[in-house]
């Protein structure tokens, strides 16, 4: 339940912090009893990084499809059998867990709620996303400008007893550039301009080196976890300093501005509306080149990035339907 200003995660029993949500998933899979040959049921609309912990345990990914509203395309009776099933709150919007609960009741599978996109987001009943299943994953680094930061929340008391101890908060941060960006933004008067200029320079250098302005997907991310599971040394302080209500309010306001512009730009929001209590990761939409340019202009003016999501797994990308390939998002990371 939400108390105004409180965080969805508190250090202590049932919570462990990591650098990346991939490490939180690895521990969740271990606690759920995943072993070599176990099957893990994933949505095929997913970022390929997520496969690394599955492969690390020599488990086998099996898939359910997602429709263009980002809900399961088929009833759970049609999903393949697996020991674990993952539900994703895409872009911080609450996934309806009813079908997942029906699946776990029938098969005995363990449900993991992947809330990597939805730190600070809640469902219509005001439940924090990430707290609605046996295991919840968070990736706070996608919501806050911090070098890394992720968490696993475990509700089952028996699994809590078997959790690995909290790793030391001694990481130097997997993406230290986020700290410089946050510092730049806080500089009075010139901060935003400086950040825009340095982002533009970074894009130009990247285009020169790789031929594209956007960060290039890492082809190894599907098979390898990046080194360093220990969380960044500044993570606890950074979480204590979050003004929760202001951050939720900022995200909802940015979403409303994007939704209004989308009508004029002729682009289609992925979600019909912004549900009450939802703190969106960004504004996901589909649109033509002209509409994209208008949304890019909005992103540039507000210091946001326009990104594509996801970088699909190799097994999926070749046969992926169009609605898996054409989603763009104005990312509200500030
Ligand atoms: C839905 C989802 N879950 C989990 C992850 C993994 O998060 P992290 O990058 O913190 O490991 C991602 C990464 O993009 C994601 O999109």
Q: Which residue ranges form the domains of the chain, and what is each CATH number?
A: 15-161 (3.40.640.10)
Name which residue sits closest to atom 14 of ligand 1, judged by CA. Answer: 47
- The reported pLDDT for the residue numbered 182 is 79
Instruction: Measure the CA angle with vertex 194, ends 193 and 196; round to 5°.
Output: 65
**Residue 244 Cα to ligand 1 middle (Å):** 21
Query: pLDDT of 77-108, one tens digit each?
Result: 999 999 999 999 999 999 999 999 999 999 99
- The reported pLDDT for the residue numbered 18 is 98
Q: What is the pLDDT along the chain (334 residues), one digit of tens a residue?
A: 445 668 888 888 899 999 999 999 999 999 999 999 999 999 999 999 999 999 999 999 999 999 999 999 999 999 999 999 999 999 999 999 999 999 999 999 999 999 999 999 999 999 999 999 999 999 999 999 999 999 999 999 999 999 999 999 999 999 988 888 877 777 777 777 777 777 777 777 877 888 777 666 777 899 999 989 999 999 999 999 999 999 999 999 999 999 999 999 999 999 999 999 999 999 999 999 999 999 999 999 998 999 999 999 999 999 999 999 999 999 999 8
Name which residue sits closest to atom 16 of ligand 1, judged by CA. Answer: 47
CA dihedral 330, 310, 215, 198 (to 10 degrees): 20
**Residue 330 Cα to ligand 1 middle (Å):** 17
Contact 59, 40 (CB under 8 A): yes
Q: Is there an atom of ligand 1 within 6 Å of 222 CB?
A: no
Compute the distance between CA of residue 111 and CA of residue 137 in angstroms, rounded to an integer. Answer: 11
**Residue 115 Cα to ligand 1 middle (Å):** 9
**Three-state DSSP string of 44-103:** CCCCHHHHHHHHHCCCEEEEECECCCCCECCCHHHCCCCCEEEEECHHHCCCCCHHHHHH
Q: Is there an atom of ligand 1 within 6 Å of 21 CB?
A: yes
Q: Which residues contact 122 (CB under 8 A, 6 or more apart)?
A: 2, 94, 128, 129, 277, 278, 279
* DSSP bridge partners of 268: 286
Compute the distance between CA of residue 2 and CA of residue 17 in angstroms, rounded to an integer. Answer: 21
**Residue 49 Cα to ligand 1 middle (Å):** 7
Query: pLDDT of 4-49, one tens digit each?
Result: 668 888 888 899 999 999 999 999 999 999 999 999 999 999 999 9
Q: Is there an atom of ligand 1 within 6 Å of 279 CB?
A: no
Compute the distance between CA of residue 323 and CA of residue 139 in angstroms, rounded to an integer. Answer: 25
Question: Alpha-carbon torsion 49, 94, 99, 67, what sign?
Answer: negative
Contact 239, 247 (CB under 8 A): no
Compute the distance between CA of residue 154 and CA of residue 159 in angstroms, rounded to an integer. Answer: 7
* pTM recorded for the entire structure: 0.94
Q: Is there an atom of ligand 1 within 6 Å of 148 CB?
A: no
**Residue 25 Cα to ligand 1 middle (Å):** 9
Q: Is there an atom of ligand 1 within 6 Å of 51 CB?
A: no
Q: Is there an atom of ligand 1 within 6 Å of 331 CB?
A: no
Q: Which atom of ligand 1 is nearest to the CA of 114?
A: 3
């Amino acid at each position: 339940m939400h108390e105004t200003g409180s965080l969805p995660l508190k250090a202590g029993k049932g919570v462990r912090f990591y650098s990346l949500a991939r490490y939180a998933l690895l521990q969740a899979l271990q606690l759920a009893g995943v072993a070599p040959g176990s099957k893990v049921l994933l949505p095929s609309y997913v970022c390929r990084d997520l496969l690394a912990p599955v492969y690390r345990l020599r488990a086998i990914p099996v898939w359910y499809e997602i429709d263009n509203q980002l809900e399961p395309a088929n009833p759970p009776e049609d999903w393949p059998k697996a020991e674990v099933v993952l539900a994703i709150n895409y872009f911080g919007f609450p996934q309806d867990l009813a079908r997942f609960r029906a699946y776990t009741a029938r098969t005995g599978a363990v449900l993991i709620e992947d809330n990597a996109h939805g730190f600070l987001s809640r469902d219509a009943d005001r439940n924090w996303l990430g707290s609605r299943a046996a295991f919840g994953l968070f990736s706070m680094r996608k919501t806050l400008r911090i070098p890394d930061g992720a968490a696993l929340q475990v509700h089952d008391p028996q699994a809590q007893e078997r959790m690995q101890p909290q790793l030391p908060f001694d990481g130097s941060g997997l993406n230290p550039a986020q700290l410089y960006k946050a510092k730049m933004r806080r500089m009075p008067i010139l901060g935003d301009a400086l950040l825009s200029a340095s982002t533009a320079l970074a894009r130009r250098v990247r285009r020169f080196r790789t031929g594209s302005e956007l960060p290039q997907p890492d082809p190894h991310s599907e098979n390898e976890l990046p080194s360093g599971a220990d969380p960044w040394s500044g993570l606890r302080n950074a979480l204590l300093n979050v003004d929760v209500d202001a951050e939720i309010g900022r995200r909802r306001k940015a979403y409303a501005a994007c939704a209004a512009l989308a009508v004029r730009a002729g682009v289609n929001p992925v979600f019909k509306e912004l549900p009450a209590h939802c703190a969106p990761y960004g504004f996901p939409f589909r649109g033509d080149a002209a509409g994209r340019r208008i949304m890019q202009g909005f992103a540039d003016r507000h210091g946001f990035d326009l990104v594509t999501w996801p970088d699909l797994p190799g097994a999926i990308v070749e046969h992926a339907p169009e609605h898996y390939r054409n989603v763009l998002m104005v990312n509200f990371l500030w």
